[in-house]
Amino acid sequence: MARKTTTETHWSWIWYLVPALAVYTLFMALPLFRSLQLSLYSGSGFQIDTFVGFDNYHRLLREGTTADRFWGAFGHTWIFFAVHMVVQNSLGLLFALLLSSRNLKGVAVYRTIIFVPATLAIVVTGFLWKLLLNPQWGAINIVLSKIGLESWVQPWLGLEGVSLVVIALVSSWQWVGIPTMIFLSALQNIPDELFEAADIDGAGRWSVFSKVKLPLIWPIMGVVMILTFTNNFNAFDAVFSMAGANGPPNYSADILGTYFYRIGIAGEHPVGIPDMGLGAAVASIIFVVLFLGVLVMRSVFRAESDQ
Amino acid sequence: MKRALVLVLVVLISGTLFAGGSGEKDAAAAETVELTFGSWRTDDVAQMGRLIAAFNEEHPEIAIRFDPTNPPDYNATLRLQLESGIAPDVFYARSYATGAELFGEGYMLDLSGESFIGAAYDDGSRAPWQAGDRQFAMPLVAVSHGVYYNKEIFAELGLAIPATWAELMSVSQKIKDAGIIPIANGLADEWDIAEVVWMNIAPGFIGGRTARLAYESGDRPFNDAAMVSVFTAMGSLAPYLPEGFEAISYNDSKALFLLGEAAMWFDGSWTVSEFEASDPDFEWSVFAPPAPAGMKQQITFHPDAGIAINPASEHIAEAKVFLQWLSGPKASAVLGNELAGFFPMVKQPPTLSNQHANDFLALNAGRGLDVRFPWPLLMSGDPSGYNLIMQGSINVITGRMSASAAADAMEEGISSWYGPAM
């Protein structure tokens, strides 16, 4: 009797996968495939029916202004990602270490404060920070000049090279709660015996961190890194809400997300006719970069955690 | 007391019942055709409601639903609607190539045979919505451009309206010395520096419409001395813009001018009704963009919105009735007064009751008129003339580029795709 049930369930589990598989195929795999296919076509507006092979990719990577803007956006996206890796994730780890220390009072309050920005819409935080950074009535410049740092007063969002970093910092501020929570839960999962053992062996704070905590949260770091990578290679809203679709000034804050929006969705102002084939090519390149990036990161973190 | 109340109730209820039962009204309602009316003017819902109400006084059988789209998404949304067969019956049409392209693909009804269009609009007004000799949309409204100024500040400092660029510079210096921001414009949103500053002043520097035609035909290169002088003028504005102008957005500029922090502002006539709504007591007016000494002042009077009929509409006859009514004197009067700052393009313009709209219109007298410089032919390539003007202006104002380098970039960029033969 018991035997029979196991053979039956052996095959019936497949049916449980069907709904998820159907949804995944319909809403993820199929559009992805269609988008890859679309990148090989050209046409006007939304009627993309002329097969052009890799011409869209050639234009994107090699030809004139289109290519200049693409490579600009490509580079800026890496900067945008790097700022998040360095600032957002280091701060996240630091906050998690502080919050997990046993003699800190009011953990719940700090945890809430750190996490609150992540619950707000980027349109709200973008607008808020635009006001704070406004050169005429923004609080940041007023505070800087009040404390005697007049020379630091800058039109932060209007300077080439600076605006991208400022936007990335605002975005890091907004999302720092996510890595903090992930690291915190990882740290809280470390069994107390390990700390006791380390204590008995006479390990200092640094050795506890580097020899006990760090190796145990290493796989989680991989997860955080992959999340940061995928979120920021797809980023769009932070730049769009704080600087606009062109990534001003002079396209210096243009990232792949805004570039894709201009090419594939909205078209260049004011004509506004999108080139969907070219847009699909941008999307496909973003997909390939993400895919390879995640593969590399996974292998790195897996190898390290297997040791 | 209670009885009286019951009586009132009975009267009220029977009143509504009888009113609802009147046979005539039902018959009319059954024959009503509803047209959807697409537009990019989300700000004008109330005004358009009044326009439609005026239309319905004469044509109760045609109901019209005004259904505008967010301006930056309009072109893409409209195209998607047209291609998937869910587009409005009548819709705002962009002038020149952007509109003509949709017509070329068969998404706008050919209106060449409609004699009421020729009767109401002259050749110049119809041209922006013509592809070859075919009329793809009926002209509706134009917008003007100028320099807004704060009357109080000008009176306090005893300043005269500048007519030449040198006068504008000296007026700006005096305002700056008085501790007020001379010019409210900034660079953060990018489009405004091109559309409301460069395209506002350029006709005065290059010599208006005839000069534009000479650039377009290839008789003048885009980096000749006149073009360099436009970019030089752009650069000369830098000291008079607000501190941190690199990050001042269009809305920031608007606020600076409205709050009296800045004395002047380059902008278009479309802001008239917004200013009147935000602060009715604010004393402001407009002057024409100054030209270099010895040059005639020019006004950029730009055909903004035409109106086209969807050939896939089930109610083409009704749509034509609506268009014909729009071309008439009553509609022009309602349009011009409801949409202050948008000027009906009919041959006999209506008298406007709005003072600020009249101020704008008065600038046209005795000055040359032309459309925005890149609109007719220079918009569709990559890099577009629009983008080269925008980036060139920004680079000159921030000092990253010299005026002649910006003009050279324009010549090089445009000639990479545009030829007069095309």
CA atoms within 13 A on the CB side of A39: 21
Check if B260 contacts A (Cβ < 8 Å).
no
CB contact under 8 A, A136 and B187: no
What gap in Å lies between CA B330 and CA B351, rounded to an integer? Answer: 11
Best of A70, A152, A166, A269 to disrupt the B interface by mutation (most B CBs within 10 Å)?
A: A269
Q: Write out B198-215 in H/E/C secondary structure.
A: HHHHHHHHHCHHHHHHHH
What gap in Å lies between CA B206 and CA B187, rounded to an integer? Answer: 23
Contact yes or no for B414/B385 (Cβ under 8 A) = yes
Check if A156 contacts B (Cβ < 8 Å).
yes
Global pTM?
0.86
What gap in Å lies between CA B114 and CA B306, rounded to an integer? Answer: 15
3-state class (DSSP) for residue B134: strand
Check if A67 contacts B (Cβ < 8 Å).
no
Of A64, A141, A272, nearest to B76 by CB-CB distance is A272
pLDDT at B170: 97
Of B187, B380, B416, nearest to A249 by CB-CB distance is B187
Q: If you count them, how many residues does chain B have? A: 422
Residues 295-354 of B with CB under 8 A from A: none
Best of A129, A271, A278 to disrupt the B interface by mutation (most B CBs within 10 Å)?
A: A271
Q: If you count them, how many residues does chain A have? A: 307
Domains of chain B: 33-143+302-360 (3.40.190.10), 145-299+378-415 (3.40.190.10)
What gap in Å lies between CA A169 and CA A84, rounded to an integer? Answer: 7
Contact yes or no for B109/B316 (Cβ under 8 A) = yes
Tokens of residue B279, six digits:
């602060």
In Å, how far are A255, B90, B158 from A232, measured between CA atoms? Answer: 10, 42, 55
Check if B394 contacts A (Cβ < 8 Å).
yes
What gap in Å lies between CA B146 and CA B339, rounded to an integer? Answer: 18
3-state class (DSSP) for residue A239: helix
CA distance A86 to chain B (A): 26
pLDDT at A6: 52
Best of B95, B183, B199, B382 to disrupt the A interface by mutation (most A CBs within 10 Å)?
A: B382
CB contact under 8 A, A270 and B261: no
pLDDT at B30: 52
Check if B398 contacts A (Cβ < 8 Å).
yes
**Closest to B40 measured CA to CA, from B51, B32, B52, B48:** B48
Check if B358 contacts A (Cβ < 8 Å).
no
Question: How confident is the model over A139-168, as pLDDT tens digits?
Answer: 999 999 999 888 889 999 999 989 999 999
**Closest to B39 measured CA to CA, from B27, B29, B49, B54:** B49
What gap in Å lies between CA B391 and CA A299, rounded to an integer? Answer: 44
B16 Cα distance to chain centroid: 45
Check if B180 contacts A (Cβ < 8 Å).
no
Per DSSP, chain A holds a count of helices (H) and strands (E) of 16, 2
pLDDT at A151: 87
CA distance A273 to chain B (A): 6
Check if B261 contacts A (Cβ < 8 Å).
yes
CB proximity list for A60: less than 8 A, separation 6 or greater: A66, A67, A70, A278, A281, A282, A285
Show pLDDT as tens, one digit a residue, over chain A (307 residues): 445 555 555 778 888 899 999 999 999 999 999 999 999 998 766 677 889 999 999 999 998 889 999 999 999 999 999 999 999 999 999 999 999 988 888 899 999 999 999 999 988 999 999 999 999 999 999 999 999 888 889 999 999 989 999 999 999 999 999 999 999 999 999 998 998 999 899 888 889 898 889 999 988 999 999 999 999 999 999 999 999 899 988 899 999 999 999 998 888 878 777 888 999 999 999 999 999 999 999 888 876 655 5
Of A64, A158, A266, nearest to B244 by CB-CB distance is A158
Query: Which CATH number describes the domain made up of A72-306?
Result: 1.10.3720.10
Question: How confident is the model over B310-330, as pLDDT tens digits?
Answer: 999 999 999 999 999 999 999
ipTM of the complex: 0.84
For residue A36, with 0-12 CB atoms within 10 Å meaning exposed, 13-18 middle and 19 or more buried, which class applies? Answer: middle
β-pairing, B33-39 vs B62-68, is parallel
Q: For chain B, which residues score pLDDT lower than 50?
A: 1, 11-28, 422
pLDDT at B124: 87
What gap in Å lies between CA A237 and CA A122, rounded to an integer? Answer: 7
Instruction: Tell me which DSSP letter residue A201 carries.
Output: T
Q: Is the dihedral of CA A244, A247, A253, A259 positive or negative?
A: positive
3-state class (DSSP) for residue B157: coil
In Å, how far are A182, A185, A187, A207 from A215, measured between CA atoms? Answer: 15, 15, 11, 11
CB contact under 8 A, B247 and A155: yes
